[in-house]
Structure 1
Amino acid sequence: MTAPDMTRSTAQNAQLALMLEVSGTPKPGNVDREREYDDLKFEQFLAGAVGAFDGLSLAADGEPVGRAFERAVAGMSQQQGGNTQFGALLLTTPLVAAAGEGALTRDNAEAVVTDTTVEDAVNFYRAFEHVDVAVNDPPEGMEALDVRRGSDAAPAIRERGLTLGELMEESAVNDGIAAEWSDGFSRTFEAATGLQESDGAVSNRASALFLALLASEVDTFVVTQHDTETALEVRDRAQDVLAGDENPYELAQELVEREINPGTTADIVAGALFIALERGLSV
């Protein structure tokens, strides 16, 4: 008998990456298979990954990145937890688009960003109509471009002629995912290499990567949700975990109880998992 074809599509790899990311444990402050919040459950992340599939498929098939992202977020939102993977989808969608066009490389991913349009930016704003996303207030005088306005901001976006890539560049100083867009996804690709070179169950590799990333840089989502001081504390305590001076499971439980959620770090893990899967990481 001929062995069945076990090759996954690019969109399926992206969906699997979202599932593997949430399955890793411990991930201090984040939902995983052992910890969840009262209003945000492990099962809702799985449902979000399933719902995002159609939008991810659009990206893989060459549809505009903004439309694909908005459709992925719309599908992701069809569960009771609300925003489960907005940031992960924002990071992963252009990578899926790059993979759909050929080899998944930094050059190809950068080309996807460069080729984004004003309508991609408009669809990015529309995605905020599907879920609540924690964001900073816009600078004074830029209220017309507040992402929380959703489609109402479309005239201001079109008037200024801002592409999605340009919007990400403007946000890169304060947002880790926007910084990835603006820097050729350097941190995500480096993390993917680490996943490929490590051993063990993939979900365990993902949780180890999460801790390493958390220890290396301040998580910008923690800054947005809380403040810089809290984000620095989380980074330093992750370094203590790596040094063997703190228990990762105890830290994970404490951060959940304090509702400190290093979401940007989790998003980069999801993106890295997708790249690694596209490169042949076996699951």
Structure 2
Amino acid sequence: MSDSPRTPAENAELALLLEVAGTPKPGNVDRRRDLDDLRFEQFLAGSVGSAAGLRLAAEGVPVGEAFDHAVAGMSRQSGGNTQFGCLLLLTPLVSVAAADELHREAVRDRCRATTVDDAVDFYRAFEHVDVAVGDPPEGVAELDARHGSDAAPALRQREMTLWDVMALSADPDDGVPDTNAAEWVEGFPRTFDAAESILADDGPVLDRAAGCFLRQLAAEPDTLVATTHGEETAREVRQRAESTLAAVERTDSLDPAEELAEAFVDEGINPGTTADRVAAALFVALERGLTV
């Protein structure tokens, strides 16, 4: 079981707080940088607001219902969507951590066991905040997440579980693959690998979070950047992160990432999906004994 002095729900809330407090995280809100439409304190409020839904996940409430409650609570601040993607990853992780040993196979099994009702609750969560999503694959326009609860009849007719929805998003016939959805269907491999890198690192936890963010951003294109700016821009962002990561490792300092952070904010580049995965990795690391 967990090596943490906190409950899984408490660790999830703490992971959200640690994620946004880490700096520099190029293009994202952190304790030194706000965006034009999102501020640091709104993320803090979103983290606290999500706690009730995360507790429901720990108590064994179905994943979709707990997620909907977490997003509803997160939305009770003035910034809108602060942590929708983080909660999508954290909810099944908390559910497993509270009931079982937290490992990839158990998380994958929990995700595979989701139901059509979970999918309906997931779609309902889109009614609480505006979420940047791409167009649905050709031929399934009725499954556009932006329909919210109105998509319920189509989900029920197709008998689409939440796992099925994630599988469709992870590997669409056209459009941008969603790496958060890929985590769901693949057993969270990036999340668990990133957690191990955080545990193997040293220094303050917030510096470890910033380093993890940069490594994740350098590893593959960010889904949110690809959705909002195009896949070519997402590839260029990854390459710039890779160059910056090399400078960070060469100098053993996060200073080179400060310049990239300022540049991405100026350019409106917001790698939010990468931040989601860092929050999930911090949760796993906390469950495995990361000291704060």
Percent of residue pairs bearing the same amino acid type: 61
Q: Distance in 2 between matches of 1:106 and 1:137?
A: 30
Runs of at least 5 residues in structure 1 that lack an aligned partner in the other structure: 1-5
Q: Distance in 2 between matches of 1:104 and 1:240?
A: 34
Residue 95 (structure 2) aligns with: 97
Query: What TM-score, normalized to structure 1?
Result: 0.96
Residue 16 (structure 1) aligns with: 14
Which piece of structure 1 moves more, 244-253 or 77-86? Answer: 244-253
Q: Distance in 2 between matches of 1:139 and 1:184?
A: 23
Counterpart among 1, 5, 8 of residue 7 in structure 1: 5
Residue 37 (structure 1) aligned with residue 40 (structure 2): no
Counterpart among 42, 51, 57 of residue 53 in structure 1: 51
Superposed displacement of residue 122, structure 1: 0.2
Superposed displacement of residue 210, structure 1: 0.4
Residue 215 (structure 1) aligned with residue 213 (structure 2): no
Q: Name the SS of the counterpart of 2:193 in structure 1.
A: helix
Between the two proteins, the alignment pairs up a number of residues equal to 278
Superposed displacement of residue 219, structure 1: 0.8
Which piece of structure 1 moves more, 267-276 or 252-261? Answer: 252-261
Residue 266 (structure 2) aligns with: 257
Q: Name the SS of the counterpart of 1:67 in structure 2.
A: helix
Runs of at least 5 residues in structure 2 that lack an aligned partner in the other structure: 172-176, 249-254
Q: Name the SS of the counterpart of 1:31 in structure 2.
A: coil
Q: Name the SS of the counterpart of 2:247 in structure 1.
A: coil
Which piece of structure 1 moves more, 240-249 or 116-125? Answer: 240-249
Q: Distance in 2 between matches of 1:119 and 1:242?
A: 42
Residue 3 (structure 1) aligns with: none
Q: Distance in 2 between matches of 1:248 and 1:116?
A: 39
Which amino acid is 1:220 matched to? T
Which amino acid is 2:223 matched to? T
1:130-149 map, 5 Å:
130-149=128-147
Residue 83 (structure 1) aligns with: 81
RMSD: 1.2
1:174-253 map, 5 Å:
174-244=177-247, 247-253=256-262
Counterpart among 251, 261, 281 of residue 272 in structure 1: 281
Q: Distance in 2 between matches of 1:140 and 1:180?
A: 23
Q: Name the SS of the counterpart of 1:119 in structure 2.
A: helix
Q: Distance in 2 between matches of 1:185 and 1:141?
A: 28
Q: Distance in 1 between matches of 2:246 and 2:75?
A: 38
